[in-house]
Amino acid sequence: MSPPPPTNAAVRADWRFALKNPVHLLALGFGAGLSPIAPGTAGSLLGWAGYLLLAPWLSNFGWAALLLGGLMLGGWACGRTARALRTDDPSAVVWDEIIAIWLVLWLLQSAPGAPAAWWLQAAGFALFRLFDAVKRGPVGWADKHIKGGVGIMFDDLVAALLTLGVLFGARLALLGGFGHGV
């Protein structure tokens, strides 16, 4: 008979784990983080779909309130779920991706003169995933130095801000802003 696993061994994130506690279900992106392939991308895609569903109904104030509440709740939920999984930043925890992609999409669409174009959303999604997955520069620094639930959320916020900086910078360089109807 083999000995029991050590008590500090990582716990596997699965549907049983997710459904055991609503905090875990939230942190796992309502199951998107359980994707066997690219759970961060799955969480970001769920976030994009959620954005498309919520956008017609939320004002800028509504988005700001949702994001602030989601950040605060997410820091706690992601930290609690990471501790339960016995891993610092589990790949299955994707609430951070959902909040960050909401921030990217909301700010891209709410900028003065911003086009409500799918290609702008797709560019935001692709750049965000690149910055989040590669974790270079400020994203890598945040991932390495800020721990717990706050750290899980923070590196994705840095990736979101880099995404917005690149897209707004490109728009300004190419067209002088968002007011040109493109």
Task: Walk along the chain (182 residues) and give the pLDDT tens digit of each residue.
Answer: 555 555 678 899 999 999 999 999 999 999 999 999 999 999 999 999 999 999 999 999 999 999 999 999 999 999 999 999 999 999 999 999 999 999 999 999 887 666 668 889 999 999 999 999 999 999 999 999 999 999 999 999 999 999 999 998 988 888 776 555 54
- What's the token pair of residue 120? 């702008």
- What's the token pair of residue 116? 């409500």
Q: What is the pTM of this model?
A: 0.90
In angstroms, the Cα distances linking 98 to 15, 42, 93, 165 are 19, 9, 10, 19
Going by C-alpha positions, the residue among 56, 51, 64 that lies closest to residue 98 is 51
Is 68 in contact with 57 (CB distance < 8 Å)?
Answer: no
